[in-house]
Amino acid sequence: MSIGNSPADAPADDERPSIGQALRQARMSAGLTVEEVSSTTRVRVPIVHAIEQDDFSRCGGHVYARGHIRMLATTVGLDPAELLAQYAAEHGGRPAPTPAAPLFDAERIRSSEPRRPNWTAAMVAAIVAVVGFVGFTLFNGGTKSSGDSVAADSPSAKPPASPSRTPAKPADPKPEQSGAVAGAPANMVTVKLTAENGQTWMSARGHNGKVLEEGVLKQGASKTFTDSKRIDLTLGNPQAVQLFVNGKQVKNLGEDGKVQRLSYTKGDPVAG
């Protein structure tokens, strides 16, 4: 039995989508499947399906439900704070903090009591002052007499000779920098993604299957990846991406809204 608000139970005058509807719409806009979201967030597929249907009973409590909502919202490009506030309004927020009035009353009673003079601290301070004065007097007198004897034994005091200065050698002029931009290294596979026309979900893996980057690439953001042999790409919204492989632009990445999987190696880019 679902404890969340289903679309049929929502008030007619409330146009705001439910938490599950908002997560599902954002996931589909990013071109992601439930399995891909589950792989990224480590939230099991049945729980993702249940949350998208506003059923939070599978989460195991409010604390886990809020954690799942935060991870899913971040993955599909939504603001987690708005969905968490909506969840708190519909299902109850965090426990209210304990009032601090008793603590303030105790401090007020303690501050109103008359303070007694601390005679022990005053005696310690007086002893430290006397010992410090005596020590300073003995040290100052010994230093003065020692300085007088040294001055009497020395027939003449000559200032130390200043070392000769060698003129500094002028720094070698820096070579003029060339305006040419270095291209992509020939011994590596270099892939650069830029979300130029909108956001997209993306995944980049090396030749050994290691994940180089995975998540939502928001509009205007760029990512660059390198590997010694091969890079495998998965793009949820390929039409939103500007792609450069080994220094050359790759166009016609696929149909709009369709997930595209590509592989590139060294040399000229060839879609795999």
- Specify the pTM: 0.40
Ramachandran assignment for 209, one of left (phi > 0), alpha (psi -120 to 50 degrees), beta (any other): left
- 157 has pLDDT over 60: no
Q: What pLDDT, in 10s, does the model give residues 19-68?
A: 999 999 999 999 999 999 999 999 999 999 999 999 999 898 999 999 99
DSSP-assigned beta bridge partners for residue 114: none
First CA to last CA across the chain, in angstroms?
A: 46
pLDDT score recorded for residue 143: 54
CA distance to 148, 226, 227, 228, 247, per residue, from 185 (Å):
75, 10, 11, 10, 9
pLDDT score recorded for residue 240: 80
Rounded CA separation 213/206 (Å)? 10
Rounded CA separation 44/49 (Å)? 9
How is 104-173 classified by DSSP, letter by letter?
Answer: HHHHHHHHHSPPPP-HHHHHHHHHHHHHHHHHHHHHHHHHHHHHHHHHHH-S---PPPPPPPPPPPPPPP
Give percent of the chain above pLDDT 90: 29
The 3-state DSSP class for residue 90 equals helix
Cβ proximity of 255 and 249 under 8 Å: no
* Structure tokens given for 141: 């007198």
**Contact residues for 263 (Cβ-Cβ < 8 A; gap 6+):** 230, 231, 232, 233, 271, 272
**In which band, very low, low, confident or very high, does the pLDDT at 12 lie, cut at 50, 70 and 90?**
very low
pLDDT score recorded for residue 131: 85
DSSP 76: H
* Structure tokens given for 258: 């369709």
Name the burial class of residue 143, with classes exposed (0-12), middle (13-18) and buried (19+) by CB atoms within 10 angstroms of its CB. Answer: exposed
The more confident residue out of 162 and 261 is: 261
- 179 has pLDDT over 80: no
pLDDT score recorded for residue 86: 92
Q: What pLDDT, in 10s, does the model give residues 219-262?
A: 889 999 899 889 898 877 777 888 888 888 888 776 666 787 88
* Structure tokens given for 30: 């990013």
The 3-state DSSP class for residue 50 equals helix
Rounded CA separation 82/89 (Å)? 11
- 180 has pLDDT over 50: no
> Rounded mean pLDDT of 194-199?
85
Of 79-93, 117-131, 228-242, the range with the highest mean pLDDT is: 79-93
Rounded CA separation 247/216 (Å)? 23
pLDDT score recorded for residue 184: 67
> Rounded mean pLDDT of 75-97?
83
> Rounded mean pLDDT of 2-23?
62
Rounded CA separation 108/208 (Å)? 67
pLDDT score recorded for residue 178: 37
The more confident residue out of 190 and 98 is: 190
| Nearest C-alpha neighbor of 250 from the set 270, 272, 265 | 270
